[in-house]
Amino acid sequence: MTIAMASLLSGIVALYLHMWKLGLTGSLACTGTGGCEYVQGSRYGWFLGIDVALIGTVGYAALFLVAMVGTLPQFEDKRWPNTAMQLLIWPAVLFTLRLKYAEFIILKSFCPWCAISATIITLCAILVVLDRRRPLEG
């Protein structure tokens, strides 16, 4: 349930950033440094021509759905929801590392909204590993 709620929160943040890129939210609420706009508007705000915030929105929505299904009584003792979450979380962790490297090292900037996503995906990675240790059915 914690993974579901964390992914919901981060998905909302990602959706907000995507809507900002589409021009639907006005100015971006950020610290006075302008790091959010700089990072979001950089080439690292896009991956293979797709908005990184949109990728995050879709990814977190998928993680939310799998996590919620995993809380249903008929699936709470099954291993497949954890496996599905692992398949969503670990590529996201690697992608986040790439983005944080670009943000801090290449762009020399900081986006608090991006930090929320990085923190949450790290939390989800820890929780999914801990959950995997539970004895479950196939």
* Domain membership flag for residue 137: no
pLDDT in tens, 12-48: 999 999 998 898 887 777 765 667 788 888 899 899 9
* Domain membership flag for residue 23: yes
Reading phi first (left if > 0) and then psi (alpha if -120 to 50, else beta), residue 134 is in beta
Reading the block at residue 11, the tokens are 């998905």
Question: By three-state DSSP, how is residue 30 classified?
Answer: coil
Domain that holds residue 12: 2-132
* Domain membership flag for residue 57: yes
- Residue 34: the pLDDT is 65
- Flag residues of the chain having pLDDT under 70: 31-34, 136-138
* Domain membership flag for residue 47: yes
Q: Cβ-count burial of 11 within 10 angstroms (0-12 exposed, 13-18 middle, 19+ buried)?
A: buried
- Residue 137: the pLDDT is 57
Note whether 137 and 12 are within 8 A (CB): no
Reading the block at residue 121, the tokens are 């995906």
> What total of structural domains would you count in the chain?
1
DSSP H or E run through 51: strand 50-51
CA pair distance 36, 13, nearest whole angstrom? 12
CATH code of the domain in which 37 resides: 1.20.1440.130
* Domain membership flag for residue 138: no
Q: How far is CA 57 from CA 12, 14, 47, 90, 132, in A?
A: 7, 5, 14, 16, 25
CA pair distance 57, 16, nearest whole angstrom? 9
